Structure 1
Amino acid sequence: MKYTFSILAVILSSTKILIAQTDSLPSNSIVLQPVEIKQYFNKQSILELTNSAHTLSSSTINSQSPTSLTSALNTVAGIRMEERSPGSYRLSMRGSLIRSPFGIRNTKVYIDEIPFTDAGGNTYLNLLDPQSLESIQILKGPDGSLFGANSGGVIRISPQGFDSANDEISLQVLGGSFGLFQQNLGINKKVNDRYQFAFNQSYLNSDGYRENAAFERKSFQTAHQFNYNPKGQLKLFAFYTDLGYQTPGGLTLAQYEENPKSARPAAGPNPSAVEQKAAIYNKTFFSGLGHDYQISSKLSHYIGVFGSYTDFENPFITNYEFRTEKNLGLRTFLSYQNNDLSLPFQFQFGMEGIKGWNKINNYDNNKGVMGNPQANDLLANQQMNLFSRTQLDITKNWVLEGSLGLNKNSIRYETLYPLESQSEGNIKFDNVWMPRLATSYQINNLMALRASISKGYSTPTLAEVRSSDNTINTDLLAEDGINYEIGYKLQGRNKNWLVDLAVYQFEMENGIVRRLNESGVEYYSNAGEMNQKGVELSYWSSWNINTKFLNSIQFNAAITYNHYRFGQYSNANNDFSNNKITSVPDWTMSNSLYLILAKQFQLNITHNHTSSIPLDDANTVFAPKYDLIQARLNWSNSIEKLRTKYTLFVGIDNLLNQKYSLGNDINAFGGRFFNAASLRNAYAGAIISL
């Protein structure tokens, strides 16, 4: 609590200073939240939005560690991102990480208007290079009426090359602790008023802080935008990534305290992570083509087709898994907007469908070599979402939105091996109507109130239906529930500061939890009710100083309180009812300070506080609280004769040298909860732009 009161004091004192400022923001500052946001289908002013939205610009993403999205996303209230080891992302948006021993659950991710989350519910966010992204827009809270199955929210990623007019070639190179090396080449070209494109190539390599934690990623990405006439626009996005990272595994508390850098040792009949060469290898090609056409001044149509192919390989402690995943999908909608009436309104109607084909083979793992077969399954996923939305401008300051979606999801499976277990069948989840009703009232030019009621719905992912125990769980139910939310926004008269407060309550039914059998192999089941109540406070500010040494200051803060509790929940003879939901900290807080200094220097300092985290359903083991500080110093200059700009930078992560575990193993077998994050480490590099 003392952290909360101190940050509120800073906010209030900063507000008094900011009201008196009249100067415009410096051109080299990091931009506050955009004045207008394309929340759904059309742009709205930030005070008109009916939900809590947050935009991370490329400057914000690049102002911190350039090798990962973790630090940037953790500056957003209600978002928690972890890395069990370099490249092994876990992301939670207003939800629990109890479903996510790895990967992303409850959240739908798009690249522009194209779904990046596949038919199986998985999102390989670690395939994207942060340097190739223009912005990340976050819509918090269930939005299944328009975007399909999700109960946490929606993330929309804008890659470089779309809706930007930069004409630039840039090369970035950096090196750092633990053998870190990164190289990124970016080409952004506006050929003419009708066509622009971007191409990004990147390479990232690290030995890792822990034993058996090396990481390597090679990626190629391109985006093209072609306005072939005043009414029509084509967008093409594609990438290929070859990713490989070792997985050191969890440690017991004694092992973690003795040597946090060690990989999981041998235990009982199971060999060590090093002996088994535990790792993940992922080669993925993804592509999407979108077409937008303005049929008339009021009517437009969008259609996008997309597909992906993944070769996935995972030598693990107990088996060696090979997967091939193919996905194909379509998203299309009509949008009608009429502002000429006394009651302006807009209406959208559309559908989104994704089909996935998955082949999963498991073998014995003989010290990193494929052995005898264990299981062989074929699974086909299908997701279909029909949606409609209406927005009415009741008055100039009062907006009312209503949307309704029908979600249909199913899985077709066929077990080919073992022979005695051959079977096939269908898992059909109930067709679910997903309503959302929301409103926003702008009291004046400075403040607005909002409220919404929406239904959240999240089907089990393929990794949960067919988990590490190599069996297909036909009894697993989808999570669903109703979310109630109210919010308040207040901005400064000069729009150089903004406060966004959100209070919500989400009553989830059939919450999915991770469990382990007697061999330490994971499987999933429904835990019943989960009561999720939260408060999120976000604050952005910027003001000019214009002194000899300091040009401007920006300060951003994000405070999250989670009151997450199990409802009636028991496992065997253990009653976990009313316990804290596993993996959710009560408090998280992020503070970001950006100083624009004289002589083209810029200093960015970020602080993140995370309170203690329950690691098992019984709430008997907690990860201690921790505070992280990151700092990065940039110096920019140019060579006018060569029309070249360059930036030199140096950064330090975990400045306080905190010993902490990031990406804990939940309900871990044998007490192996802890995945140690690196102690104090540094990096330095340069960017050259033409």
Structure 2
Amino acid sequence: MKFSFFALLFLSLCLSSIEESRAQEKTPDTLRQLPTASVRAYLRTQPYLQLTSSVGLIDKELLNLQQGTTLLPAFNTIPGVRMEERSPGSYRLSIRGSLLRSPFGVRNVKIYLDEVPLTDASGNTYLNSIDPSTLHNITILKGPDGSLFGANSGGVVIMTPNGLQSNPSTTWGIRESAGSYGLFHHHLTGNYVVNNKYNVGLDYAYQRSDGYRENTASHRHFIQTAQRFKYTEKNELRFIGLYSSMAYRTPGGLTEAQYAENPKQARPAAGPNPGATQQQAAIYNNTLLGGLIHDAFLTSHLKHVFSVFGSYTDFKNPFITNFEKRYEHNYGVRSYFSYTGQFHSNFTWQADAGIEWQQSKADILNFDNNGGVQGKEQAGDALKNYQHFYFVRFSGDLAKRLNIEAALSLNYYKYAYKGLFPETNDQYQIVDFKPTWMPRVAASYLITPAISWRASVGRGFSPPTAAEVRSSDKIINTALQPETGWNKETGVRWQSSSNRFQLDISVFSYRMQDAIVRLSNENGEEFFTNAGGVKQRGVEAAVSAWILQPDTHRFINGLRLSSNFTWSHFRFDDYRDNGNNYSGNKLTGVPGETVVSGMHILFPKKFSFYLQHNYTSSIPLNDANTAYAKRYHLVQSKLSWEKSIFGTTRLQLFAGIDNLLNENYSLGNDINAFGGRYYNAAMPRNYYMGLNVQL
């Protein structure tokens, strides 16, 4: 199971010196872009080798190698990052174990579209509203990082939408694909550049699926525009707007016996509760988001960035025991100054200072669910969330060898609530958390021009989200406390001179206090509690290598191998609940080991083949560690062919297989589910094919 990672590591090290000398003798006919040598993180683009933090990059090439209808396999190529799918359209994203408190969606992770937060003031993120084909790249900062991005204890994800990439050109394209279980995906994209000053990107995507299990049909319409107006040489305006309308059925979790008997079935009726199909259990989400960013150099050294943004979500969830409706408004601003300077000729520095402020309001209403139809009132509450933080940061580069960084943010968070029915309150009740400092100190040092060492210490802070304060049990839980903790990390990077070989290893220890865990009652309604301390120790390693650099003079034009390894020794430190002592148990929902490897082969005539293997070890499904999801091997493959037609028009045909080994596994388990209803069966072997035309 670990062979693929360590074999690739050994092979890369052995071949690097040989291939480096050959690379100096001749320049290959490049067919694909080599791995990136720089990453945009911490408000500027920096050399990958000199970054002080653990970073994962998902570029356009990696996105294009995947099926294209989900971000899941691309996210899972990053060590320490795990994305799951309970049913088509229902995703969960975690960084370093934050699945502990994730009923669905995203928790503990802050997500941005450029300078616009996708994560709202309440801490919720509707990542499944985004269509994967409308993104150009994704940068992932792992570990708590509130120095510039506010409250989080898992990490930060920064996504660049189509149209805001560097050096855009005028292009038009259409992509059509279809697959097993009624899968269909349509993507129409355009990018238009006017006089190198104004650029407008426009994307429309539609996706539908019948799903493998009962009650899993889904569909989504998605429209996005990203525009850039460079009105002077050093000043520009950017605009991001999107609208997503999606609906997906939720089949519900199965017991182990039900899962073994018929994994396709939806949750059946149990006791007084009807089944998922009878209740037409589903999610309906309509989200509108917009943001305007002004980026300006006030002087040759001073830069100011200001963004204003807002969103509206209409959310409906017919569930087993109720019909929930949510109407959510969110708005905010983000502003910061960056000043760059230089002492003598060998020390450059940058100082940043700014603020981000958000406020949201949500009306959360619950009714009887009469077979998917709204019934009598049960409970209704109004919630307001307020958060803002100030941040400062200083970074310095000595002789292009030693990078130092110190950052600090002061975070404010509170929420207010009042009853709407059956009891009505005129005044909001306020729960205000004390201001929290989040410092971070880090450094990186170039040991040689190809090898760097880094180390960092930072504090995490993550208050409970609105979905945890007022969860599906319809009770306002004012006892929940924020998660806090200190993360200590060190790592080594190696990058060959031609940038063909990359190795990145991180070792970290995170001590979390007041970890928030998910529990459920006999009706399947979830609620949350603080579990005391959690000790999280881990090792993350990633290696990639162009074993054969792209060259059209061979039958195998190019061969690239990549692999990542994640070891997670996550344990409850001091956790007792209802007389049960779970101290020392494995952290619920987190696999101890994962290995994800990829192979990309380039053939003549623009044929290419991509193969990805994902090994995931067994996963504890409850805090008592008495139930586990079995380990699995997931293999995905894709064959592509490209050809230029009619001059500049490029045609691509592709076909692929998901779950090539026809593995029987559960992806997106319901942790701590009442009655042992943990399992959500993933699709067996399935197929897809399609075409992509670029003008």
Common fold: TM-score over 0.5: yes
Q: Partner of 2:569: helix, strand, or coil?
A: strand
Alignment of 1:303-342 (within 5 A): 303-341=306-344
Residue 130 of structure 2 is aligned with which of 110, 121, 128?
A: 128
Partner of 1:17: 15
How far has the Cα of 1:16 moved from its partner?
A: 1.6
Q: Which moved more, 1:41-50 or 1:279-288?
A: 41-50
Partner of 2:85: 83
Task: Report how many residues are paired.
Answer: 686
CA distance in 1, matches of 2:320, 2:559: 50
Residue 556 of structure 1 is aligned with which of 562, 585, 602?
A: 562
1:505 equivalent in alignment to 2:503: no
CA distance in 2, matches of 1:340, 1:453: 26
Q: Partner of 2:2: helix, strand, or coil?
A: helix
CA distance in 1, matches of 2:155, 2:99: 14
Partner of 1:229: 232
1:449 equivalent in alignment to 2:453: yes
Partner of 1:144: 146
One-letter amino acid matched to 1:75: T
CA distance in 1, matches of 2:544, 2:174: 31
Q: Partner of 2:594: helix, strand, or coil?
A: strand
CA distance in 2, matches of 1:197, 1:307: 20
How far has the Cα of 1:403 moved from its partner?
A: 0.2
Q: Partner of 2:503: helix, strand, or coil?
A: strand
CA distance in 2, matches of 1:627, 1:571: 34
How far has the Cα of 1:27 moved from its partner?
A: 3.7
How far has the Cα of 1:519 moved from its partner?
A: 3.4
Alignment of 1:471-620 (within 5 A): 471-542=475-546, 543-544=548-549, 546=551, 548-620=554-626
CA distance in 2, matches of 1:474, 1:407: 19
Give yes or no for contact 2:91–2:104 (8 Å, CA) kept in 1: yes
Residue 156 of structure 2 is aligned with which of 154, 157, 174?
A: 154
Deviations 1:192-224 (A, max 9, x none): 211111100011010001100001000110010
Taking a change above 3 Å as real, the CA distance of residues 403 and 258 of structure 1, as seen in their structure-2 partners, is same
Q: Partner of 1:593: helix, strand, or coil?
A: strand
CA distance in 1, matches of 2:27, 2:677: 53
Q: Partner of 1:550: helix, strand, or coil?
A: coil
Taking a change above 3 Å as real, the CA distance of residues 24 and 246 of structure 1, as seen in their structure-2 partners, is farther
Give yes or no for contact 1:29–1:596 (8 Å, CA) kept in 2: no
Give yes or no for contact 1:362–1:374 (8 Å, CA) kept in 2: yes
How far has the Cα of 1:95 moved from its partner?
A: 2.2
Give yes or no for contact 2:85–2:668 (8 Å, CA) kept in 1: yes
Partner of 1:348: 352
Give yes or no for contact 1:565–1:579 (8 Å, CA) kept in 2: yes
How far has the Cα of 1:528 moved from its partner?
A: 0.2
Structure 2 unaligned residues grouped into runs of 5+:
none
CA distance in 1, matches of 2:114, 2:538: 29
Partner of 1:244: 247
How far has the Cα of 1:664 moved from its partner?
A: 0.2
Give yes or no for contact 2:8–2:561 (8 Å, CA) kept in 1: no
Taking a change above 3 Å as real, the CA distance of residues 689 and 519 of structure 1, as seen in their structure-2 partners, is closer
How far has the Cα of 1:96 moved from its partner?
A: 3.1
CA distance in 1, matches of 2:6, 2:685: 29
Deviations 1:355-400 (A, max 9, x none): 0011111001011111110111111101101000001224431111
How far has the Cα of 1:26 moved from its partner?
A: 5.3
Give yes or no for contact 2:367–2:374 (8 Å, CA) kept in 1: yes
One-letter amino acid matched to 1:306: F
Residue 52 of structure 1 is aligned with which of 43, 51, 54?
A: 54
Give yes or no for contact 1:26–1:552 (8 Å, CA) kept in 2: no
Partner of 1:687: 692
Give yes or no for contact 2:4–2:597 (8 Å, CA) kept in 1: no
CA distance in 1, matches of 2:28, 2:429: 61
Alignment of 1:35-434 (within 5 A): 35-162=37-164, 163-341=166-344, 343-419=347-423, 424-434=428-438
Taking a change above 3 Å as real, the CA distance of residues 211 and 283 of structure 1, as seen in their structure-2 partners, is same
CA distance in 1, matches of 2:382, 2:259: 39
CA distance in 1, matches of 2:386, 2:262: 45
Taking a change above 3 Å as real, the CA distance of residues 382 and 31 of structure 1, as seen in their structure-2 partners, is farther
How far has the Cα of 1:494 moved from its partner?
A: 2.0
CA distance in 2, matches of 1:570, 1:577: 7
One-letter amino acid matched to 2:564: A
Q: Partner of 1:51: helix, strand, or coil?
A: coil
1:4 equivalent in alignment to 2:8: no
Give yes or no for contact 2:607–2:642 (8 Å, CA) kept in 1: yes
Root-mean-square deviation (CA), in Å?
1.4
TM-score using structure 1 length: 0.98
CA distance in 2, matches of 1:106, 1:520: 23
CA distance in 1, matches of 2:352, 2:114: 17
How far has the Cα of 1:422 moved from its partner?
A: 8.1
Q: Partner of 1:178: helix, strand, or coil?
A: coil
Give yes or no for contact 1:435–1:455 (8 Å, CA) kept in 2: yes
One-letter amino acid matched to 1:623: A
How far has the Cα of 1:545 moved from its partner?
A: 6.5
Taking a change above 3 Å as real, the CA distance of residues 670 and 390 of structure 1, as seen in their structure-2 partners, is same
Q: Which moved more, 1:189-198 or 1:200-209?
A: 189-198
Give yes or no for contact 2:105–2:128 (8 Å, CA) kept in 1: no
CA distance in 2, matches of 1:30, 1:611: 33
Q: Partner of 2:181: helix, strand, or coil?
A: helix
Structure 1 unaligned residues grouped into runs of 5+:
none
Deviations 1:549-585 (A, max 9, x none): 2100111111000000001111112110100010010
One-letter amino acid matched to 1:293: A
CA distance in 2, matches of 1:182, 1:66: 9
CA distance in 2, matches of 1:376, 1:204: 33
One-letter amino acid matched to 1:188: N
Give yes or no for contact 2:405–2:442 (8 Å, CA) kept in 1: yes
1:661 equivalent in alignment to 2:670: no
Q: Partner of 1:16: helix, strand, or coil?
A: helix
Give yes or no for contact 2:8–2:562 (8 Å, CA) kept in 1: no
Taking a change above 3 Å as real, the CA distance of residues 594 and 574 of structure 1, as seen in their structure-2 partners, is same
Q: Which moved more, 1:518-527 or 1:555-564?
A: 518-527
Deviations 1:116-144 (A, max 9, x none): 10111011111111111110001111111
Partner of 2:474: 470
TM-score using structure 2 length: 0.97
How far has the Cα of 1:477 moved from its partner?
A: 0.2
One-letter amino acid matched to 1:517: N
One-letter amino acid matched to 2:8: V
Q: Partner of 2:258: helix, strand, or coil?
A: helix
CA distance in 2, matches of 1:24, 1:216: 47
CA distance in 2, matches of 1:183, 1:361: 34
Give yes or no for contact 1:30–1:60 (8 Å, CA) kept in 2: no
CA distance in 2, matches of 1:269, 1:430: 43
CA distance in 2, matches of 1:56, 1:686: 22
Give yes or no for contact 2:341–2:350 (8 Å, CA) kept in 1: yes
